[in-house]
Structures are given as C-alpha cells and as structure tokens.
Copies of this chain bind each other. A is one copy, B any other.
Amino acid sequence: MTINIITIGDELLIGQVIDTNSAWIGKAANQLGFDLGKIYTVSDTYSAIQDTLGLAIKDSDVVILTGGLGPTKDDISKKAIAEFMDDDLVHSEVSWEHIQAMFKSFGRTPLEMHKEQAKVPSSALLLENKMGTAMGMWLEHADTIIISLPGVPYEMKYIMEHQGFPKLQSRFPNLQRIEHRTLHTVGVGEGQLSEKLEDFEDSLPVGLKLAYLPNVGKVRLRLSKTKASSGDLDLDKWTAKMRTSVEPYVFGEGETSISEALGQYLKEKDLKMGTAESCTGGFISHLITGISGSSAYFEGSVVSYSNEVKIKVLNVKEETLISYGAVSEDVVREMLKGLLNFLSIDVGIAISGVAGPTGGTKDKPVGTVWVAVGNKEKVEVRLLNISKSRQKNIEYSATRALGMLWQFVRTNY
C-alpha cells in the first residue's frame, strides 16, 4: 500500500518554512508498513493542488495533504479538493460546534471567518483536532483515500495519531512493516566507514540494503529489509555483524542521539555532569536537557560568554586569557577545572572557540574550537578545525564534544 504526500503552501516553496510534516508522516507511515511513493510540495493555487492530486492518486492508495485549512483567505485546500471531486462545500454543524468549543476554551468567541471554516465537502468524514480549530478530513475518490490535514505540525500530528493512522490500519489490516536497523556512529567519516564495511556490503544478501546517512559530525548506518525478502533474513544478525566492523564508533542503535547515549551511560554509572560553554553558548546544555529524565545526571551549566564570567565564575586566570587568548588549550583546561570545582559533578565539558563569521584571526580562524572533557584526575583535550557556518560550527563542535565525553566515560568508568 502506497502513500503519496502533498504539502501545500508558497511559504514551503520559497523556503520561508521548512516542511517537517512530510518527514513525520513518512516515518510514521513507513513504520506501519506503508510504502512512501513521492512527496510533492506545491503552491496554494487551485491548479497546482488539483493537478498534483490528479497525479498523486494515480500511483497510490492514500494521498495525504497538509496545509491550507486555516481561517484566512489564502486557505483554499478544502475548496480545491471539493472541486476536484465534483463535490460541494456544505456547512458542518460538527465542525462549527468544534470551532465554538475551541474558542470558548480560550475565553473568546469565533469570528465571522470561522463560519467559512466550518464548511466542508459534503462527502467528508471529519477527523477530530483537539489542538486547533481546523478539523481533518477523510475523503474517498475512486480507489484512493484522501486525507486533508492542517499544516500546523502539532495539529496535523494529533489528527494522524488519534484518527488518521488508526483508521488507515483498520482499512488495511494486512500491512507488512519494512524493517530497518540503524547504527549511530560519531568521530568517523562516511568514506572511512564504507571502507571498513566493504566486505560486509559485498556479503549482504539480496533484499538487504545498507545506506549511509551523514549528518554534522555523525554518520548513521541504516540496514533495511525490503518486502521482497521479508521473513527470510535475520536483520538483527546482520546488524550485529555490521557492528563488529565499526564498533569503536557506534554510540547507539535505533532511535537515539549522542546526548541520549551519553545520558544513558552516565545514569548507569551514577555520574553527574555539567558544561562550561563559551562558543556553543548553551547549545550542548540544550542537547543534554532535550532528553527527558536528564535531571538524573545533569546538574547545570555555566555559559561563560564574556571573559568576566570565565574569570569570576570559572576561576580562569586573567594571565592565561592574556597570554593565550580565550580560544586556547590552557583556557579550556582551566574552564573545566573551574567547572569541576564549582558544581557538584563527576565529569564535565569545557569548550571555547571562534563560531564566526567574525572574530577569526590568521592564527585562530573561524571554526577553531578547543574542547576539554574529563574529571578531576584526567582531562582529554582536542582542537577542532571546522570552518562551516556559525550554526554548523556550533552544532558540529557540540556533537564532537558530546562524543568526546561519551568516549571518556566509556573508557574510564
């Protein structure tokens, strides 16, 4: 069973908004066993929506559209779909009551335009949306199911999780999941991994497929079992085999991140950590606290953006800053030492660098980053040379720093 997705909106085409809806739908649908055919992103005009709908229903069983269900004048999806299906828009009391109830919960009353929003194609089955005023719609056209959803991500997700996917599952009870296994690596490049995995790849049976997915300082290895072969091949066995070739770099399997893998390890070993951040400005701390339950091992951070904070809070010596500059091995060593004394923690990260685009010098160009990780007895220090954009320098050095601390605790505890 194949799903095609159409995301609607000029703001997507001209890059004012990045489409995350289709990735979310694709992931969830894939896990349920649907094939993902194509994703189309189109303008919010009648012709673009209707032409693409015409294309998309040809090679799929389900077409999911997102966007254009709001109350404003540029929201035309409902009309476009109704016209496409030769259906009429009619007032829906269910939708109107829903809109009124939503407004009541905010202590407000609906506006005139929301009466327009309560109109739906006469054949539409409405899908509940507790997150906003625009209900989802389930329609059937020839042999294809059409699901129309609002573009606001958490509204779209609510509808699919509570009604869209459950209804699809009961309609297609014989779905066979495509299975994936993913290994996450850090501190190694795609080419090097591929070299280490050459024999493994050559030995892979038909029906298994390996993909390399590089992303800012990390590479994921995804092994997939396609439907043609399902039942015959032991994906876990092949994943374990793959792992032996790249073990020192693998920080996790499945859905994980370097901050989650680090957190799990710290929790197991009952260790507490903190960070002293200059160039990353709190981003490492954000990555760590993005994980639910991180309070078990994360005490806190000092974002020492100014030299004054480095000196006053982290006890970095003024002479060190003057002699070597804030971006130096000596300063990150002192920052780490100060942090370990300042907070009640076992291990920590200290980082200082030139995030750019300004602030670089000949000796210390943009992307020069010093990282120290360790405890009171032992410290590992590394110099990174990154030279990407400011955001990428921050992301990349944060990832590498987390990878270094993960290596450190794995080796020393």
Chain A interfacial positions (CB closer than 8 Å to B)? 10-20, 22-28, 30, 36-43, 48, 52, 55, 70-74, 111, 113-114, 133, 152, 154, 180, 182, 190-191, 194-195, 201, 209-215, 220, 222, 224, 275, 277, 280-286, 288-290, 292-295, 298-306, 308-309, 313, 342-344, 355-358, 388-392, 394
Measured between alpha carbons, how far is A313 from B23 in the docked complex, in Å?
Answer: 42
Given A191-B71, A283-B282, A344-B308, decide whether A358 and B40 contact each other with a Cβ distance below 8 A.
no
The residues of B that contact A48 with a CB separation of less than 8 Å are: 38
Copies of this chain, complex-wide, total: 2
Known pairs A14-B36, A15-B30, A220-B16; A303 contacts B306 (CB<8 A): no
B36 touches A38 (CB 8 A): no
Please give, as numbers and ranges, the residues of chain B lying within 8 Å of A222 by CB-CB distance: 11, 16
**Would you call A388 and B154 a contact (CB within 8 A)?**
yes
**A23 and B18: CB pair below 8 A?**
yes
- For A114, what are the chain B residues with a Cβ–Cβ distance below 8 Å? 191
**In the complex, A154 Cα to B387 Cα: how many Å?**
11
Complex: A28 Cα to B15 Cα, angstroms:
8
Cβ of B295 and Cβ of A282 under 8 Å apart? no
Query: Which residues of the partner chain B approach A286 to less than 8 Å between Cβ atoms?
Result: 280-283, 285-286, 394
Contact assessment for A358 and B71 in the assembled complex, using a CB-CB cutoff below 8 Å: no
Which residue on B lies nearest to A131, using beta carbons? Answer: B388
Q: Which of B18, B30, B209, B289 contacts A74 (CB 8 A)?
A: B209
Which residue from B22, B37, B211 sits with its C-beta under 8 Å from A11?
A: B211
Contact across chains for B285 and A343 when beta carbons are under 8 A apart: no
Residues of B within 8 Å of A215, CB to CB, are 17
A17 touches B11 (CB 8 A): no
Partner of A16, one of B22, B39, B213, B290: B213
New contact pairs (13) apart from A13-B37, A289-B305, CB-CB < 8 Å? A13-B36, A13-B39, A14-B26, A14-B36, A15-B30, A19-B23, A133-B191, A281-B289, A282-B289, A286-B286, A299-B306, A300-B309, A303-B303
Q: Which B residues are in CB contact (< 8 Å) with A72?
A: 190, 194, 211-212
Instruction: Give min CB distance, A155 to chain B, whole Å.
Output: 10
B27, B305, B343, B355: the one within 8 Å of A14 (CB): B27
A27: contacting residue among B15, B190, B191, B275, CB under 8 A: B15
Measured between C-beta atoms, what is the minimum distance from A365 to chain B in Å? Answer: 15
Inter-chain CA distance A43–B39, complex, in Å, is 10
Contact across chains for B19 and A15 when beta carbons are under 8 A apart:
no
Beta-carbon contact of B52 and A38 below 8 Å: yes
List the B side residues contacting A182 at CB < 8 Å: 16
Q: What's the least CB distance linking A102 to chain B, in Å?
A: 10
- Cα A13 to Cα B212 in complex, Å, equals 15
Q: Is there contact, CB below 8 Å, between B288 and A281?
A: yes
B residues less than 8 Å from A113 (CB atoms) = 191, 194
Report how far A390 CA is from B290 CA in the complex, Å: 7
Q: Give, as a whole number of angstroms, the nearest-CB distance from A338 to chain B.
A: 13
In Å, the complex CA distance between A154 and B305 comes to 27
Tell me if A42 and B52 are in contact (CB < 8 A): no
- Complex Cα distance, B226 from A74, in Å, reads 14
